[in-house]
Amino acid sequence: MAATLSPKVNLVDLSKADYRGATTTLCQGCGHNSITSQIISACYDLSITPEDIVKFSGIGCSSKAPTYFLSRAFGFNGVHGRMPSLATGALFADTSLTGIGMSGDGDSASIGMGQFKHVMRRNLPLVYIIANNGVYGLTKGQFSATAEEGLNLKGQGQNQYMPIDIVWEAVISHATFVARSFAGDPKQVRELLKAALSHRGIAVLDIISPCVTFNNQDDSHHSYAWGRDHEVALHDLSYVPVAEEIMVDYDDGEAKEVTMHDGSRIMLRKVDKDYDPTDRANILCMLEDANRRQELLTGLIYIDTEQESLFDMYNLPDEALNRLTPDRIRPSRESIDEINALMF
Amino acid sequence: MSTDPSPILTQASPQSVVNNFSITVGTENGSGSQTSNLTLLRAFFKMGIPVSGKNLFPSNIQGLPTWYTIRLSKDGYIARSDTTEIVIAMNAKTFARDLALVEPGGVFFYDDDIKQPIQRKDITVYPMPVKQISVASDAPSNLRSYVANMVYVGVLAQIIQIDVDKICQALEFHFKGKQKPIDLNFNVVKSAMEWAAENLKKSDPFSVAPMDATSEFIMSSGNTAGALGSIYGGIQFAAWYPITPASSLAESLNQYLPKLRKDPKTNKNTFAVVQAEDELAAIGMAIGAGWGGLRSLTSTSGPGISLMSEYAGLAYFAEVPIVVWNVQRMGPSTGLPTRTSQGDINLTYYLGHGDTKHVVLLPGSVNECFEFGWKAFDLAETFQTPVFVLSDLDLGMNQWMTPPFAYPDKPIERGKVLWEEDLDKLEDWGRYLDLDGDGIPYRTVPGNRHQRSGYFTRGTGHDDYANYSEEPDQWVNNMDRLNQKFELARTAVPDAELFPNDGAKIGVIAFGSVDPAVKEAQDLLLSEEIAVDYLRLRALPITAKVREFVRAHERVYVVEMNRDGQMHQILTIEIPDCAMSLISLPQNDGLPLTATWIENAILNKERN
Ligand SMILES: Cc1ncc(C[n+]2csc(CCOP(=O)(O)OP(=O)(O)O)c2C)c(N)n1
Ligand code: SF4
Ligand SMILES: [Mg+2]
């Protein structure tokens, strides 16, 4: 390549390097690293200005990940299991920002289950990623609540309890965008991320993200091998930004199109059988069937683009609340007499 | 100290007692007596008589006994009184106990439906035909038990001569001008008055008479005042979870924010209030918003504070401004959730693991709840730290006469926040870089689009630029800087207030809702020839003035409502050279402290 060529840039004149973060300190091969790369790619591809993103996380290896992408964006690494509340308060400050929350299966399905469920019903605009590895990585390999019954782990014995299904929980808590993916399927992760970034409301991505150190044996449901062998994609998904034409020609009935709030589209090309991700009632049966067949069902499982987002419910001004000048947040001097008169 | 306000005496008798007695009403929780009790309180207030009212209620929605005490004091003492001269007994279950409460020479009103022996000969007894009068009223049967309580308002009004117009005013206020309930209740009051005029012969010495001692006051509660103060302080975000006795603070935000904080041009809200799923989430949201550059608040009580501990520690360490109201109730555990206490001083001051300590404001009146409502935000944002406001159930939930709320006398102080144009001018900026040498760094907030604005907030060790660090020196330096900020805050918090007495060698330190009882105790002690200086703490950490006060007195009694003398502990730690002269006087039984308790406690120590 000629030395004079400038690095490749996107529509906002940024190179991929502008989307990177600090060097990862996670284990080599950890699924969380591959999710991190796809976040960088998705934001780069969508030409998002890093300052328009705010990152949030709880505690865990997965929750460390926000340090490793978009170092120009603001970020807040909160306490274990309480990322959703942090994001809720922070995003009220400037609702034009896009939030990315990074969590783990321990962070969201155990200690943070309450906040996980409640942020769904509030429909906070947030890309909520759960890097799901079936273990507590950071505390060295204990079972998490998503570990399958019967899983054997070194030093932990056999898991006796039934697993929590994050997708299932999200759907019944009225999440408006629910997807499952696999860190070993980077293209799908990236396309889902792009779609999630355009969703106005809570977008839950349950991404199976193997912990190579504590839970990657071939028969574990959160390993690379198991994922590769058992992944069944519901559709071949591609995201089409607002300004772009759809380049591929689909045959009639072959693809389903979902239009997002901002006008962008998700094209869902049929793989095996028809799947309608707007049909909420059908989801639980489908997940149950897939579980019985030991399939790792991936793709966009549910979407509702109509539901009001949290911020639509608050009659907020057009400008950011955190930019309101003091004169706009302190009532007038005259009003104090009226207030005193309202007392007895 | 009293100068008689020369009331118009209608019943001149040598023993007549005018505007200087207490009334206790014993009813059943949930029977609607609150309307009657507040009506009495407000009527006295509008008659110009200094008055206080305290609801001593059980943790129950309906059925358990509940009491309301009203103290009238021509001399302006508004603390709870130990004695009660007039008792109104509406609850058969507590009849005997209520009868025993009456001071000798006092008065006992009772619902004549209660058939229980009355053997006392040292008091005046008036039966009230409650059922008869309420049935005769045109009240629909489902409201009858509510209006039944208006019977005692009417009978009492007749016997002690409460101004009927003032009762009417109180009802108009209570029912927000809605004519139907006003008329319904007022008619019962009137028929009860008529019945009493015809059937009861006044044979007791107690009466009320108009004064002019309340026209400079309003009547409100600490929680309403705290909410309003926050609104005038520019609150932009609140998250909360219901808990007695704090709920009405957030509910008052919901009530007054739409009135006061809609943008006049666009009609948009300049605020957001979220009812969270629990206190863990409430403080998480508040911290997110504070970090995001909003004036942010959460309000709770002890149990909620316990849950907030981890996040409060993070906010301290990560330097996030938030305001946390702790309207204290009696603990530990669920404790006595509807009773008052000052038992969370240590918990709040040191909330969090590791080396944490917080700025804590200690309002001593309803009016000060308003003042600290707005000041707390200025302090939190100036020092980039959580600021706690410690109120309590008595202050928060009871109606108090208080000076009118004063418009903030200082502009909003948002502290060191950098926007795009500021960063353009600054070459070297790091989130935790102490550019000014005062320990307070500059912060940016999300939404700032400058390329150097973003940083990563974390609970882990970090360097001046917010990068992860486990360097021992960096850790120590950072913690020292937090301490430097804390020491600076010591000079900026509301200073203690001194109430001196000539020639006093001993002092009292107290804070919060016990203030009126301490001031009254000062007068009582003076009549025993013991002069006491009183210093009212208004904040933690303590200021230089507090140290000087302690050093300048031979003995200093620390009066507070908890078992272990928590403020006394803090003072002995902070003024170790005077530890021996600080004497703890704690009392914690769930009831607001009285002047006579304080007087006796000090007399006991002084005379032994
Ligand atoms: C209140 C609290 N309890 C326990 C811990 C210890 N802890 C740190 S990370 C973690 C589990 C993380 O698991 P997960 O969210 O699945 O993240 P992973 O490391 O697997 O990515 C625990 C229990 C903590 N930090 N805080
Ligand atoms: S321990 Fe597991 S989860 Fe943590 S970084 Fe290593 S591979 Fe990833
Ligand atoms: Mg995990």
The domain ranges of chain B are 17-207, 220-402, 420-490, 497-606
- B12 pLDDT tier (thresholds 50, 70, 90): very low
Mean pLDDT of B179-190: 94
- pLDDT tens string A91-136: 999 999 999 999 999 999 999 999 999 999 999 999 999 999 999 9
B406 to chain A, any CB pair closer than 8 A? The answer is yes
Whose C-alpha lies nearest to ligand 1, atom 4?
Answer: A80
Q: Is pLDDT of B287 > 80?
A: yes
Residue B510 CA to residue B140 CA, distance in Å, equals 49
Q: What is the crossing angle of helices B222-232 and B366-383, to 10°? A: 40
- pLDDT tens string A259-268: 998 999 999 9
A29: left (phi over 0), alpha (psi -120 to 50) or beta: left
CA of A313 to the centre of ligand 1 (A): 33
Average per-residue pLDDT in chain B? Answer: 95
Q: Is pLDDT of A269 > 80?
A: yes
- B24 pLDDT tier (thresholds 50, 70, 90): very high
- pLDDT tens string A304-329: 999 999 999 999 999 999 999 999 99
Cis peptide before B245 (omega within 30 of 0): yes
Q: Which CATH superfamily is domain B220-402 in?
A: Thiamin diphosphate (ThDP)-binding fold, Pyr/PP domains (3.40.50.970)
Which residue does chain A place closest to B295, by CA atoms? Answer: A322
User: Are A27 and A212 within 8 A, CB to CB?
Assistant: yes
Does the domain spanning B17-207 belong to CATH 3.10.20.30?
A: no
- pLDDT tens string B299-330: 999 999 999 999 999 999 999 999 999 999 99
pLDDT at res. A248: 65
Whose C-alpha lies nearest to ligand 2, atom 1?
Answer: A137
Q: Which of B287, B296, B307, B410 to mutate to test the interface with A (most CBs of A within 10 A)?
A: B287
DSSP H/E element including A31: helix A31-45
The domain ranges of chain A are 7-318
Q: Is pLDDT of B101 > 80?
A: yes
Whether residue B445 and residue A93 make contact (CB cut-off 8 A), yes or no, is yes
Arch. (CATH architecture) of A7-318: 3-Layer(aba) Sandwich (3.40)
The structure's pTM equals 0.96
In the 8-state DSSP scheme, what is residue B263?
-
Residue B154 CA to residue A284 CA, distance in Å, equals 64
Q: For residue A6, give how far its alpha carbon lies from the nearest alpha carbon of chain B (Å).
A: 21
CA of B307 to the centre of ligand 2 (A): 29
Mean pLDDT lowest among A65-69, B13-17, B538-542: B13-17
Which residue does chain B place closest to A25, by CA atoms? Answer: B468
- pLDDT tens string A232-248: 999 999 999 987 776 66
Mean pLDDT of B403-429: 97
- pLDDT tens string A45-88: 999 999 999 999 999 999 999 999 999 999 999 999 999 999 99
Whether residue B446 and residue A71 make contact (CB cut-off 8 A), yes or no, is no
Summarize chain A as % helix, strand, coil (round to 5): 35, 20, 45
- DSSP track, A84-118: HHHHHHHHHH-TTSEEEEEEEHHHHHTTTHHHHHH
B/e letters for B495-530, b = 16+ CB within 10 Å, e = fewer, are ebeeeebeebebbbbbbbbbbbbbbbbbbbbeeeeb
Which residue among A27, A64, A80, A146 has the greatest number of ligand 1 atoms within 8 angstroms of its CB, and so is best to mutate? A80
Whose C-alpha lies nearest to ligand 1, atom 5?
Answer: A80
Does the domain spanning B497-606 belong to CATH 3.40.50.920?
A: yes
Q: Measured in whole angstroms, how far is the alpha carbon of residue B437 from the centre of its chain?
A: 38
- A249 pLDDT tier (thresholds 50, 70, 90): low
CA-nearest of A222, A126, A111, A206 to B288 is A126
> Who contacts B54 (Cβ-Cβ below 8 Å, separation ≥6)?
B68, B69, B80, B394, B398, B592
- pLDDT tens string A13-52: 999 999 999 999 999 999 999 999 999 999 999 999 999 9
Residue A273 CA to residue A115 CA, distance in Å, equals 35
Whether residue B239 and residue A73 make contact (CB cut-off 8 A), yes or no, is no
Nearest atom of ligand 1 to the alpha carbon of A209: 21
Same fold, B17-207 and B220-402: no
pLDDT at res. B11: 40
Q: Please report, for residues B88, B312, B336, B398, B482, the alpha-carbon distance to residue B30 in angstroms, rounded to integers and kept in the order given.
A: 17, 37, 18, 17, 49
What residues are paired with B359 via a beta bridge?
B387
Mean pLDDT of B110-129: 95
Residue among B228, B449, B457 minimizing CB distance to A51? B449
- A252 pLDDT tier (thresholds 50, 70, 90): low
